[in-house]
Structure 1
């Protein structure tokens, strides 16, 4: 009887474990785990089959302007990526310390929830009118000499905001390009938080 109970418990545990992975990221990836700046990062999908997207991201008809649908491209030479490529970027660049995942939204939005491992560089910080913009570009690896910039050691960046109707990361990208930042070092996640949440992927709270 004791053995039967043990076997039943094991079977239930295994069934629960299998069920817990019903919603994978891809057929070959149930979850993604990283270590970024000494912090363990886990990305997986919500296993609740009844989960729905947050109401704020379920709106279909925001006024345009300003909430207009943006092109697939974030700028000439800038690669547009999806969720799998973003996860690969964390794995190959962020975890290695050679790249940054940038949330371009204003801090109040960033604090409500962002993609794990993202840092907040608000799009306004990259405007030419920001007196501290040169310091930010230098922190990203740019070296200024007079009016010229050397970006040979610049950090690889992947920028996102709220989704295809959000202009914050496109504006940030355009300002980076206008400052001479190399397009090949910039990536654009057009789906943003709306698509990330729609797919039930893990978010990080910063508030």
Structure 2
């Protein structure tokens, strides 16, 4: 009986900590919209009954095939594929590149447990953020990380959210910065890379920077949810 209980506990523990299980068990978060409204979300992989019995083969997977036109629209995703500039796998040798499971693990084990030390950053502009983002992300538009006297409040807000203390012009205190995971639209989106490069330029610790290269397109491409559009 004792060995059975130990086996059960081991199974539960492994499933709870294995990042592969996170899209199945779900990650509960509270998201704050740009207008301050908060809403709870369960981040889990969307599964529709219409898609469960589809085979991953040439006939159903390739969009130009006749058979794929018979596949339920719930089982498909469509993206613009000819815009932007394709980004490298690594932006910098000291910055880790994340994929979906690592992002989920970051949200579950870091952001939720210690929001004072971790932040998930949507580097896109506010209109993109309000249209739909990864639940629990904070919007820090890439262009607000560079000083502009006409947008000084936005600049100070961005630095405050990241934990950067502005001492004087071109002088900063990084001793209490958060570990920040940045993303934008897709692997062809230059907004999060630009944000990261701006921070590196001013001396932000590289070991406190993480990058989700695939961004929103990769996120929804594996049927993970975005926030609802802010009306």
TM-score bracket, normalised by the shorter chain, equals 0.7 to 0.9
Q: Structure 2: how far apart are the matches of 1:28 and 1:107?
A: 28
Task: Give 1:33's match in structure 2, choosing from 12, 27, 32.
Answer: 27
The alignment status of 1:118 with 2:137, answered yes or no, reads yes
Task: Give 1:155's match in structure 2, choosing from 173, 178, 183.
Answer: 178
Residue pairs, 1:1-207, within 5 angstroms:
26=20, 30-36=24-30, 40-48=40-48, 49=51, 50=72, 51-53=75-77, 55=78, 57=79, 59-62=80-83, 67-95=84-112, 96-97=114-115, 98-129=117-148, 131-132=152-153, 133-146=155-168, 147-207=170-230
Going from structure 1 to structure 2, the CA distance change for 1:89 and 1:175 (only over 3 Å counts) comes to: same
- The gaps in structure 2 that reach 5 residues or longer are 1-18, 32-37, 52-71
Going from structure 1 to structure 2, the CA distance change for 1:154 and 1:27 (only over 3 Å counts) comes to: closer
Going from structure 1 to structure 2, the CA distance change for 1:84 and 1:200 (only over 3 Å counts) comes to: same
Three-state SS of the structure 2 residue aligned to 1:131 is helix
- The gaps in structure 1 that reach 5 residues or longer are 1-24
1:117-155, CA deviations, whole angstroms, 9 ceiling, x for partnerless residues? 111111111124453424422332122334432212111
Three-state SS of the structure 1 residue aligned to 2:28 is strand
Alpha-carbon contact 2:29-2:135 (below 8 Å) kept: no
Once the 2 structures are TM-superposed, how far is the Cα of residue 27 of structure 1 from its aligned partner?
5.4
Three-state SS of the structure 1 residue aligned to 2:109 is helix
* Equivalence for 1:22: none
Three-state SS of the structure 2 residue aligned to 1:159 is strand
TM-score, normalised relative to structure 2: 0.69
For the aligned residue pairs, the C-alpha RMSD in angstroms reads 2.2
Q: Structure 1: how far apart are the matches of 2:156 and 2:92?
A: 21
Three-state SS of the structure 1 residue aligned to 2:119 is strand
Once the 2 structures are TM-superposed, how far is the Cα of residue 202 of structure 1 from its aligned partner?
1.3
Going from structure 1 to structure 2, the CA distance change for 1:184 and 1:61 (only over 3 Å counts) comes to: same
- Structure number with the bigger relative contact order (C-alpha 8 A, sep ≥ 6) is 1
